[in-house]
């Protein structure tokens, strides 16, 4: 795929994600590629390609000869996705607390204070050294499994990691994700 086509597809993908997040695309509704293309001022091809990316991620489904249906994420779906994140992230946070250097842990203070939940979790999981874990958790987050963590919780987690309180790290991370 030519680089300019890839860039356009990525731009449409980001615009579609933003529309999904903002609730501008209604769960259950079917949207055609040509209608979305007109909305974004592009041809239908990059819209179809971007929507197929979202199909692979489970955010929309293809409806033959009609377009794409936005999948409704139920409370149960969210709870199950967050449970999976807790199963992945709590032990990973313990691993990081056990093995990361003090300087690496202190580097988490900035993202913790920034209050950006995805950025903090990505920085933390990156320290675990498993790029597949980072990608998988990012996919779960995109599917709707946001935990909306506040900066104070992140800062407390970093404090626990710095004191190597492994039980505290695991418990707080679990509470942070599933309540």
Return averaged pLDDT per consecutive 10 residues of the chain, 179 residues in all: 78 88 88 93 92 89 94 88 94 97 96 84 95 92 67 89 97 90
Query: Nearest 5°: phi and psi at 106?
Result: -65, -30
Report whether 86 contacts 145 (CB < 8 A): no
Q: Which two tokens stand for residue 66?
A: 């009609």
pLDDT given for residue 127 in this prediction:
97
Say what the alpha-carbon torsion angle 153, 111, 18, 87 is, to the nearest 10 degrees.
-50
Contact of 79 with 167, CB cutoff 8 Å: no
* Model pTM score: 0.75
For position 95, what pLDDT does the model report?
98
Rounded to 5 degrees, φ, ψ at 67 are 145, -130
Note whether 13 and 50 are within 8 A (CB).
Answer: yes
Q: What does the pLDDT read at residue 154?
A: 92
């Amino acid at each position: 795929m030519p680089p300019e086509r890839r860039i356009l597809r990525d731009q449409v993908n980001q615009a579609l994600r933003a529309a999904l997040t903002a609730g501008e695309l209604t769960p259950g509704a079917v949207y055609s590629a040509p209608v979305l293309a007109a909305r974004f001022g592009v041809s239908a091809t990059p819209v179809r390609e971007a929507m197929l990316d979202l199909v692979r991620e489970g955010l929309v489904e293809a409806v033959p000869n009609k377009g794409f249906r936005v999948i409704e994420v139920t409370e149960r779906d969210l709870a199950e996705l967050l449970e999976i994140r807790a199963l992945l992230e709590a032990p990973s946070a313990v691993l990081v607390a056990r093995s990361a250097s003090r300087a690496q842990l202190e580097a988490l203070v900035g993202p913790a204070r920034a209050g950006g939940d995805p950025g903090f979790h990505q920085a933390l999981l990156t320290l675990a050294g498993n790029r597949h874990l980072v990608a998988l958790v990012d996919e779960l987050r995109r599917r709707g499994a946001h935990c909306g963590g506040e900066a104070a919780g992140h800062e407390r987690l970093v404090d626990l990691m710095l004191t190597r309180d492994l039980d505290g790290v695991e418990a707080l991370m679990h509470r942070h994700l599933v309540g």
